[in-house]
Chain A
Amino acid sequence: MAASEPILEIENLVKHFPGPGGFLQRSSVLVRAVDGVSFKVQEGTTFALVGESGCGKTTVAKNVLLLERPTSGSIRFQGKEVQRFSRRELREYKRAVQAVFQDPYSSLNPRMRVMEIIGEPLQVHEGLGGRALRMRVGELLENVGLNPVTGGFFPHQFSGGQRQRIAIARALALQPRLIVLDEPVSGLDVSIRAQILNLLVELQQNFGLSYLLISHDLAIVEHMSHQVGVMYVGKLVELAQKDEMYGNTRHPYTQALLSSVPQPDPDIPMGNAISGEVASPIAPPPGCRFHPRCPLYQETAQCREQEPEWREVVSQHWAACHKI
């Protein structure tokens, strides 16, 4: 698995936002949303970025989608630096990289018909229109398991799961290489999550897609991904292949996250659920950012003062913790 070329390489990505400022004055604090994140997405595989809300995983996605400009660091797509793209390369990038967002009620324009929604990328990039456009949209609707006649409907005539299928069809329209899935099923009823996830896996196999999956749901990540990175307050704390990550968890934060996943068997006792609040990205704790909540923390100065080093603890398995 994942022996192929990296399609997306993110190196030392940093994104700081100006914090809440006062009246008529510039804010002096910085929100360190992403504070040095590096990972690679291999061609044809799924890389999952996991973490609690506010850990910066969506900011990473927005940087990849060029909706935000990174403060520093580099994003390389098929070996080329995104920040230095020419106009033509940028256009190609916008064809090759698509997105599916969390809320299918916000991601479809209520004033457009499904035909126009899915057709928009085709009109913008290929100037398709008329019959050719209708044919192509019909195909795409079939790809995601919707009836082609639904092209004439408006989004409000669909259920949440169907809307998410439409969003996926739009993302597929330009035959992309990489799709950023930002919490693709969190907004859906549990009963239809599996359908959408299976659809995404199926499409990945059929079209050789690469996914960057942003999620807080470890069950979904286990189902879909090949590689997993765990983020905490703007930094990666652990990164490994999926089986290694779930079978041989090293970082106490990842362990805490995994043990907080509800088990379907009531006889299995709940693990040591993590306590306390996520640290603030405005003033992250010194040393290891996780130490105030860490079950392994024993008042050692090392955890309190020294930032843990990002190192390969086992082959192909990285983590940042003093205790392992």
Chain B
Amino acid sequence: MAGTGTDLSLEPTALTWPGRVGAALSALRRAPLVTSTVLAVLLCSAIFAPIVAPHTPTQIDVGNSFSPPVWHEDGSWSNLLGTDKLGRDVLSRLIYGARVSLTLSLLIILIGGGSGTFLGILSGYLGKTADAILQRFVELILALPTILVALVFVFTFGTSFTSVMFVLSPFLAARFIRIIRGETLTVRERDYVAIAQVIGSPTHRILWRHILPNVFNTVIVLATLEVGHLILLESSLSFLGVGVPPPNPAWGLMVSDGREFITSAYWITLFPGLAILITVLSLNLFGDWLRDTLDPRRRQL
């Protein structure tokens, strides 16, 4: 049958791969320049830490302790940002610290965010009893003071990278569950989900093909924003001595180490503090930008 005659005035440009890559690139070009640069530098230094860092971060040189940054009269080019009380190079420790902070945050995002997304979708889609039980758990977790629980947990199981990971993941998961559940509740009401049910699509298919892709923007944005939050948490924990154990270079730990000497050797605390500030700020700004970009109502295509 010959249809009833509509012309198909479709532009096939957005279909081809070069077109899509181009679109992605032009979107990236509109990204906030400062923020992306900061994040790129951070990421590169974390990945290539052994190449970039001028010294080994744990190398102790007591004879060279409290050496000030290079712009001071008695500063040296060998330690650009000075050294701490054990003569370790602050810059190298910052660079390796980025590695620790980012790895930890990304792992927690993967574990906590991944499981939170999964449970949030289940909770929102299935509703009823499963939803009610899960939401009570979420409320419980969200009502707990994170730092306090982490303190107790780490004192019990010892300070280590994995302890921090284990104790922070549920908190992150809870935040994901809350938000992704809400998002799922709106997507669930779309007609294409009802049609999939009418067709008889199995539940796992509906979750995977219809719900997940339509809540994924939120997942990405949430993950970006939460990385900043996690770095802050990890730093707080390290500062309190229950984070990543010394002598690993973690930013929070560095701030804590330099605390006693803040009047005489400010650089030991100032630079890791600045690193935390700039990183978290950049991640938040980047997350805001990402949220706006992925929101179809704000996207100009």
Contact = CB atoms under 8 A, between A and B. Distances in A.
A and B form one complex? yes
Given A124-B201, A157-B10, A195-B4, A110 B195 contact: no
Contact of A202 (B1, B190, B192, B200): B1
B192 A109 contact: yes
B6 interface: yes
Contacts of B14: 154, 157
Interface in B179-212: 190-192, 194-202, 205, 209-210
Nearest to B213: A111
Given A107-B191, A120-B196, A124-B201, A145 B15 contact: no
Interface in B1-21: 1-6, 8, 10-12, 14-15
A256 interface: no
A319 to B, nearest CB: 32
Contact of A106 (B190, B197, B198): B190
B195 A195 contact: no
Interface in A166-198: 167, 170, 174, 192, 195, 198
Given A66-B198, A99-B198, A162-B8, A143 B1 contact: yes
A102 to B, nearest CB: 8
Contact of A108 (B192, B201, B213): B192
Interface string B85-106: 0000000000000000000000
Contacts of A145: 1-6
A120 B5 contact: no
Nearest to B217: A111
A152 B213 CA distance: 18
B214 interface: yes
Contacts of A154: 14
Contact of A94 (B4, B5, B8, B200): B200
Contact of A161 (B6, B190, B197): B6
B200 A153 contact: no
Contacts of B15: 152-153
Interface string A130-164: 00000000000011111100101110011001100
Nearest to A102: B191
B200 A95 contact: yes
A144 B200 CA distance: 23
Contact of A99 (B11, B12, B195): B195
Given A101-B194, A146-B8, A170-B195, A124 B2 contact: no
Nearest to A105: B191
A65 B191 CA distance: 13
B294 to A, nearest CB: 12
B210 A109 contact: yes
Interface string A104-126: 00111111100011001100110
A198 B199 contact: no
Interface residues of A, number: 50
A91 interface: yes
A20 B148 CA distance: 41
A95 B8 CA distance: 30
Nearest to B14: A157
Contacts of B210: 109
A94 B191 contact: no
B36 to A, nearest CB: 26
A125 B4 CA distance: 29
A301 B12 CA distance: 67
B196 A153 contact: no
Contact of B10 (A97, A107, A153, A195): A153
A192 to B, nearest CB: 7
B232 to A, nearest CB: 33
A150 B197 CA distance: 25
Contacts of A109: 190, 192, 209-210, 213-214
A106 B3 contact: no
Contacts of B8: 146-147, 150, 162
A266 B50 CA distance: 85
Interface of B: 1-6, 8, 10-12, 14-15, 190-192, 194-202, 205, 209-210, 213-214, 296
Interface of A: 65-67, 90-91, 94-95, 97-99, 101-103, 106-112, 116-117, 120-121, 124-125, 142-147, 150, 152-154, 157-158, 161-162, 165, 167, 170, 174, 192, 195, 198-199, 202, 206
- A-B pairs, 10 with minimum CB distance: A145-B3, A94-B200, A111-B213, A107-B191, A106-B191, A109-B192, A195-B4, A101-B191, A121-B199, A65-B198
12 contacts: A66-B198, A67-B194, A99-B194, A99-B195, A101-B191, A102-B191, A107-B192, A107-B195, A116-B209, A125-B199, A146-B8, A147-B8
Given A94-B198, A192-B6, 12 more contacts: A98-B199, A107-B191, A107-B192, A109-B209, A109-B213, A112-B213, A117-B192, A120-B201, A145-B1, A167-B195, A195-B5, A202-B1
